[in-house]
Amino acid sequence: MITDLVKTSGLEIQLDAAKPGLVFGKGINFSKPGVRTLDAMREVLLDKDVLEPQELYYMYRDVYRISDKALLENNKLRYDVTVIKPDFLGRELMKTAGHYHPGSYGELYEVLYGHCFCMLQKPKPNDHQVIDEVILVEAAAGEKIVIPPGFGHILINLGPEYLVTSNWVSSLFSSEYGLYKQAGGAAYFIIKAAGKLEFMRNPYFKKLPEIKLLKPAALIDKFGLAKGKPIYPMITEEAAKFAFLNRPADFDYGDVFAESVKKI
């Protein structure tokens, strides 16, 4: 099945679920996706003896309209698209490996297709086994997730469809996966049993707060973000709104999430 993602992304991209992967329109730069395999993820899984699926998700890094190349370089930004299968990893819902950013760099995610949780966790600066805050952001197509400085993050596909996300991020750093591997996963494992979600604490952590379930704010004016407004095209006229991605400490992040009426 082919699903057009142009409306949510603002770029000529299609999801080809049979491939699985993305099909890019003319004039768009892309390269072969990085594939996250089961073996590469085993350390961060609750059930380490899982046998399938072999391929979990596909990372298309540095996607852009060729005519926008200089804009991305001048603004020191990179745009990526990630395609995450709808499946289980043993008892766990399909998820990404998780990483922190060096320094205080944040990130901007957008859901292009599907339905997800983004689990954010903030460790104590001098002891990463103590987590000060765990935020679970529930988002669907068209919604934006701002990752504030200091938070590690994973994406969880709530299914039943593929999850496709895009992100803008500073091109000046590389993500750090080591602490998630050392911890054997994120703060909590999310499992589905008898159709119900359960949240299991990761015993690696000495201190874990309760999960705060939030949703993305529908409008974040200072960053130019609105539900349903694609973030890719902002690079041509509103790139200044992305200054928070390279100067994270200059901004306040108190308004990027909203209360959720749901309970977990």
Closest contact distance (angstroms) between CB of 244 and Fe ion is 14
Residue 80 near Fe ion by CB under 5 A: no
Interacting positions 95-154 with Fe ion (CB under 5 A): 107
Closest contact distance (angstroms) between CB of 18 and Fe ion is 29
Q: Which is nearer to Fe ion, 92 or 107 (CB)?
A: 107
- Of 186, 235, 194, nearest to 77 by C-alpha is 235
How far apart, in whole angstroms, are the C-alpha atoms of residue 119 and residue 109? 12
Closest contact distance (angstroms) between CB of 105 and Fe ion is 8
**Length of the chain (residues):** 264
Quote the tokens at residue 38: 């089961």
Cβ neighbourhood burial of 188 (10 Å; 0-12, 13-18, 19+): buried
Closest contact distance (angstroms) between CB of 101 and Fe ion is 6
Q: Which is nearer to Fe ion, 107 or 110 (CB)?
A: 107
How far apart, in whole angstroms, are the C-alpha atoms of residue 264 and residue 258? 16
Q: Which is nearer to Fe ion, 89 or 147 (CB)?
A: 147
Q: Which is nearer to Fe ion, 24 or 177 (CB)?
A: 177
Quote the tokens at residue 262: 């749901």
Distance of CA 111 to the CA centre of its chain: 8
Interacting positions 228-247 with Fe ion (CB under 5 A): none
Q: Is residue 152 a contact partner of residue 188, using CB atoms and an 8 Å limit?
A: no
Q: Which is nearer to Fe ion, 61 or 192 (CB)?
A: 61
Closest contact distance (angstroms) between CB of 160 and Fe ion is 25
How far apart, in whole angstroms, are the C-alpha atoms of residue 73 and residue 90? 41
Three-class DSSP category at 46: coil
Measured from each CB, the residue nearest to Fe ion is 107
Count the Cβ atoms, other than its own, within 10 Å of residue 5: 21
Q: Is residue 80 a contact partner of residue 60, using CB atoms and an 8 Å limit?
A: yes
Closest contact distance (angstroms) between CB of 196 and Fe ion is 29
Q: Which is nearer to Fe ion, 154 or 220 (CB)?
A: 154
Total of chain residues touching Fe ion, rule CB under 5 A: 1
Closest contact distance (angstroms) between CB of 195 and Fe ion is 31
How far apart, in whole angstroms, are the C-alpha atoms of residue 161 and residue 26? 26
How far apart, in whole angstroms, are the C-alpha atoms of residue 134 and residue 123? 9
Residues near Fe ion (CB under 5 A): 107
